[in-house]
Amino acid sequence: MTFEAPDIQWAYLIPVAAVLGAGVLGVLVEAFVPRRARRVTQISLALVALAGAVVAVAALWSDVSDSGGVKVLDGALVVDGPALVLQGVVALLGLVALLVIADRTESGEDAFASAVAAVPGSDTEAEATRRGLAQTEVFPLVLFALGGMMLFPATADLLTLFVALEVLSLPLYLLAGMARRRRLLSQEASMKYFLLGAYASAFLLFGIALLYGFAGSVKLTDIAAAVGTPSDLDPLLLGGVVLVLVGLLFKVGAVPFHAWTPDAYQGAPTPITGFMAACTKVAAFGAMLRLVYVVLPPLEWDVVPLLSGVAVLTMLVGTVVAIVQTDVKRMLAYSSIAHAGFILVGVVALTASGVSGVLVYLLAYGLATIGAFAVVTLVREVNADGAVVAEATHLSQWAGLGKRSPLLAGAFTLFLLSFAGIPLTAGFTGKFAVFTAAVEGDLWWLALVGVLASAAAVFFYVRLIVLMYFTDPAGTPGEGTTVIGGEGFTIVAIGAAALGTILLGVLPSPILELLADAARFLP
């Protein structure tokens, strides 16, 4: 018996390998690098890895564009146009989010507890805070999550999909419970996210088992080949598809699988909230696109009505519930749910323009989301003794911010207008792309619901803008609100997100043309 060494095309794995390899090195840094040098080492390693991943994606672009895509690792992964775009978007958004995660205030505090495992309020926690201990293992956890997110949309078989899901999810469960302030709320968010995520993973795994029972394979191409005519559908096929979609819909926060979203977003450290809100959606929708466009076209009459109904519910529930929120993080959480519905409109279009529309929407939404949560990290409460404490998340505390910090309020206004889909912002480009794709796919009624939901959503975005610019803070809880300074990383991230939001809104043609060329899945 002879052993044949596998032929692995390592060049196509460089973006993912750079990120996951840096995560492994980050673990070694925690073990062997002295504490005083650990933070600088971890930040430098993470920034270099993510920048290298973006460069690697750009270097691979022409080759993948010419060849149409390559299967690697015996077909477990596919590096085609959509996969490469999604990997590049995840790495780029992760790079911007990492700046917010790495920043510290003028007093040297970051967003993470000094002793995460300690009981909140205990002497152990107080001693760790007094000594100024920093949780630098945050950075390898972020890198591992990003590595899983880059694998997720490139998976060509369902077992690899499940492994990638767990690689991206487990670090997020930990990161959600590491907030420096409001420790019990953060731990509650982590526990809810973990428990509901475990249920979603179980649904996904059960669906994979049913699809394997139907096709005798876990490869997407084999499952697609085994799908018969629409009149001859196997219950194992429909049951498996629905359960796999349940797992993916949970990750994007779609109704009725959205219950974890507001609690996790509110309780997690705000830099992590922005990170997982932006990057997780990119990865999960990328995996959903591959499943829908490679496996499900013969099941169009069964799956499209289901996903269309989920899209409508998600848009309406996210928009309506966001209107009544008084906490800015919960408002942005329900806004995120509504945006998941808008993106689903492009998914169910089942056209090439639907793929490119979803890709541009994910980029636009990710930039605005990271930028908005970065702004939230800088707006803080001031207690009766004049000490700066937790983030000012009550809407009334934002009154008058436009006068106290016009540049910061201006950036936040830009991100809110992009969420609302106002012309000349990236959000308008994204919504126009997905709604146009829906009309091309004969789903004009779904596009109409999306337009109406977008119009209603303008209310809660404009309400916050009015608070910042046209409301006097005197006599409100906002009297004790200030804007803090830091090392400058967050300001750089806000500037980068704002620049991307403007460019994608004012000059969308180059990006739209690039993504239109990439919107072809390798079967």
Look at 473 and 137; give whichever has higher pLDDT.
137
| 69-75: average pLDDT | 83
Is 68's pLDDT higher than 80? no
Reported as a pLDDT band with limits 50, 70 and 90, residue 230 is: low
Instruction: Check if the beta carbon of residue 299 is closer than 8 Å to that of residue 234.
Output: no
CA distance 486 to 12: 38
H runs (alpha helix) in 379-488: 401-404, 406-420, 426-440, 444-470
Show the tokens assigned to 15: 């973006």
pLDDT at 515: 83
pLDDT at 474: 57
| 35-43: average pLDDT | 91
pLDDT at 476: 45
Is 502's pLDDT higher than 90? yes
| 421-440: average pLDDT | 93
Summarize pLDDT for 364-383 with one digit per residue, the tens. 999 999 999 999 999 888 77
Is 518's pLDDT higher than 50? yes
Reported as a pLDDT band with limits 50, 70 and 90, residue 478 is: very low
* Beta pairing partners, 72: 77
Closest C-alpha among 268, 220, 283 to residue 76: 220
pLDDT at 304: 86
- Indicate whether 416 belongs to any domain: yes
Is 237's pLDDT higher than 90? no
Reported as a pLDDT band with limits 50, 70 and 90, residue 350 is: confident
pLDDT at 521: 67
Taking the alpha carbons at both ends of the chain, their separation in whole angstroms is 33
Look at 230 and 511; give whichever has higher pLDDT.
511
Summarize pLDDT for 14-27 with one digit per residue, the tens. 999 999 999 999 99
Chain mean pLDDT for the chain: 88
Summarize pLDDT for 259-309 with one digit per residue, the tens. 899 999 999 999 999 999 999 999 999 999 999 988 887 777 778 889 999
Reported as a pLDDT band with limits 50, 70 and 90, residue 1 is: low
Q: In the chain, what is the greatest distance between 2 CA atoms, to the nearest angstrom?
A: 83
pLDDT at 481: 80
Closest C-alpha among 130, 119, 148, 146 to residue 46: 146
Instruction: Check if the beta carbon of residue 352 is closer than 8 Å to that of residue 516.
Output: yes
Q: Which of 3-17, 218-232, 400-414 has the highest mean pLDDT?
A: 400-414
Question: Whole-structure pTM over 0.85, yes or no?
Answer: yes
Domain carrying residue 350: 10-518
Is 432's pLDDT higher than 90? yes
Look at 127 and 112; give whichever has higher pLDDT.
112
- Indicate whether 129 belongs to any domain: yes
pLDDT at 333: 94
In the chain, how many domains are there? 1
Instruction: Check if the beta carbon of residue 350 is closer than 8 Å to that of residue 358.
Output: no
- Indicate whether 205 belongs to any domain: yes
Burial of residue 28 (CB within 10 Å: 0-12, 13-18, 19+) is exposed
- Indicate whether 181 belongs to any domain: yes
CA distance 14 to 26: 18
| 242-263: average pLDDT | 92
- Indicate whether 2 belongs to any domain: no
- Indicate whether 344 belongs to any domain: yes
Is 422's pLDDT higher than 90? yes
Is 479's pLDDT higher than 60? no
pLDDT at 359: 93
pLDDT at 477: 46
H runs (alpha helix) in 68-80: none
Look at 311 and 233; give whichever has higher pLDDT.
311
Reported as a pLDDT band with limits 50, 70 and 90, residue 232 is: low
- Indicate whether 3 belongs to any domain: no
Look at 108 and 440; give whichever has higher pLDDT.
440
φ, ψ dihedrals at 178, nearest 5°: -110, 15
CA angle at residue 226 from 224 to 227, to 5 degrees? 70
Closest C-alpha among 388, 393, 413 to residue 477: 393
Is 11's pLDDT higher than 80? yes
Is 387's pLDDT higher than 80? no
| 401-422: average pLDDT | 93
- Indicate whether 377 belongs to any domain: yes
Summarize pLDDT for 115-146 with one digit per residue, the tens. 777 777 777 777 777 776 778 899 999 999 99
